[in-house]
Amino acid sequence: MHLFIIPLAVMLVTQGIKMAIEYSKGTFSWSHVSGYGGMPSSHEALVTSLAYTMGYFEGITSPAFALSLILFAVVLRDALGIRYQLGVHGTVLNRLIKELPDREEYKFPILTERLGHSLPEVSAGIVVGFLLTALAVGMVS
């Protein structure tokens, strides 16, 4: 059960850290609680924790650890690559829509701009995920 609970708890704690950081900067929004983006990446913390947990309890030569590393790489690439670029596209398109005449502007939806992560956000998610998991594993073992 700890193979599931530890990564899930790490993700929730990281999401709480993210919300606390946003609150302290005055950028908190309830829509961000279940949204994407922000510092640190709770997705990266989750997959880091999953890989750490699988490696620790199942062994680094286990198929479970191999799969968790592949999932880690996919989530990392997704956050830094396509989701980040989608956010950039959303920002640019929203600016272009704002330049339209008012009678045309309303025809287009406001696009989400916060989808991916910067390298520091992903790196912080990895570090937080690793440290929280090490703490949790130490408490379980």
In the DSSP assignment, the letter for residue 111 is P
Q: Read off the pLDDT of residues 78-127 as tens digits, 9 standing for 90 and up.
A: 887 887 787 788 888 889 888 888 888 878 888 777 767 788 989 999 99
pLDDT at residue 11, rounded to an integer: 94
pLDDT in tens, 4-44: 999 999 999 999 998 888 888 877 666 666 667 677 989 99
Report if residue 107 sits inside a domain: no
Is residue 95 included in any domain, yes or no? Answer: no
Residue 122, domain member (yes or no) = yes
Within-domain flag for 121? yes
Domain-embedded: residue 32:
yes
Query: For the CA atoms of the chain, what is the radius of gyration?
Result: 18
Q: Is 88 among the domain residues?
A: no
Does residue 63 sit within a domain?
A: yes
pTM for the model stands at 0.81
Residue 49 has pLDDT above 90, yes or no: yes
Structure tokens at 15: 């999401």
Domain-located, residue 38? yes
Count of domains forming the chain: 1
* Domain coverage including residue 54: 2-81+116-140
